[in-house]
Chains A and B, each alone.
Chain A
Amino acid sequence: MADPRPERWAAPRTTVVTGATGWLGRALVHRLVADPTRERLRLLAHSTAEAQALRASLAGRPGVEVMIGDIARAETAKRLVYGVGSDTDVLHAAGVIHPKKVRQFTEVNANGTRHVTEAAIDAGIRRMVHVSSNSPFGTNPHRDDTFRADEPFHPYLGYGRSKMMGEMAVAEAVAAGLDATIVRPPWFYGPFQPPRQTTFFRLVRAGKFPVIGKGDQRRSMVYVDNLVDGVLAAELTPTAKGNGYWIADARPYTVDEIVETVGRALVDEGFSVKPPTTRLPTLAARVAETTDRLLQGVGVYQQQLHVLGEMGHTIACDISRSVAELGWEPQVELYEGMRRSIRWCVEQGLEL
């Protein structure tokens, strides 16, 4: 089984990144600008303020072009690839996970992706990498189950449906001739996290992270640098068109292990941590999930409810095909990744 590391393409002349100001986008751009063979970078920011911040952080790096636009609008995608030439890769990292309104899921994750694939076909680019999720496949049927490389769609609520539609748009574009690869990261963590994510550390510190039932649900997670490695491997490795790859840490963790490891990482970074006390019955997660479903049915998205509802499930994936076909391997595991994540938050002056 020990395949030699697959061949890699050289970096393209132009690299286009959507969602460049998001969590993954910022980590991705951070890596791309450091690579001198990336001649031109065209980055899409959602707002003027974000674009200015991005420009400021990249001042001095030649070949960077920051564009402003909403991917939910077709002309944004057209503008984005206008005149790029065929030696171009598109890394589609734009997406919405915790929207203000449920309809944004479809507008951004489904329609936005379709706009990118259509523009990519018209522009005749080399390859598109679409960042999907575990959510089109829902949750595992029981805690010992692990998603294989290829699974039937079973979208988890509005987000899952929109990400499924995104994947289907990619599949259609591939059928029409586009070279595209899908990467599927589960729950990610690490530097460049949005401020809302500090809640996670605060809950663990207070011993109040809601563990459901026995806490033996398994969760695949991915350290953001492992994910960046995976996205780049999916971009540059000559694989069959349209393949999807799980990009996650080497193995799934149990929820108990996650809480314990994060607590340990916090202590080792000099924070005080109270022992975990918040255990909720499985029923609580089921009630949260049902309420979330009902609310989303009338267009309302409530983040805490959504996260709690999902916490009762196992979401575990098997990365072996990604490792074999992309020649990629996750380098960082949970404890080290969390320590780096905590240090980054501290450097940014975020209150944990």
Chain B
Amino acid sequence: MRQVPALPVVGSFAERLLADDLPDLTAERRHEAVTFIAHRVDTLPSFTRFGVLLIGTSFRILMAVPGGWALSGIVMRLPLPFVGEYPRLVRSLGFAYVWEHWPSTSPTGAAAGAS
């Protein structure tokens, strides 16, 4: 059974989330982290993967409308079951990747030595 690849679904959302959390992360590093995130989503157990892609698609649609990103921020903070866990999953994977590969990254994502 072929599965839907995760990158097109979670890619832009993950890019945006990481850019917000780590504004000084270079585009190249961010892209690398996002690729890793998508790879991990691809290997999730079937039901979780389905849920993540479903929520991911909803966020993608939301982001496409004007003011959608701000609205996404509000939705993420709502105490809705599972919805808040999607951004948490994406951020967790991204952060783990960034600091495991570049441990001297600054709190805003800048590479060592940069300010």
Direct contact of A and B (CB under 8 A): no
By a beta-carbon cutoff of 8 Å, the part of chain B in contact with chain A is none
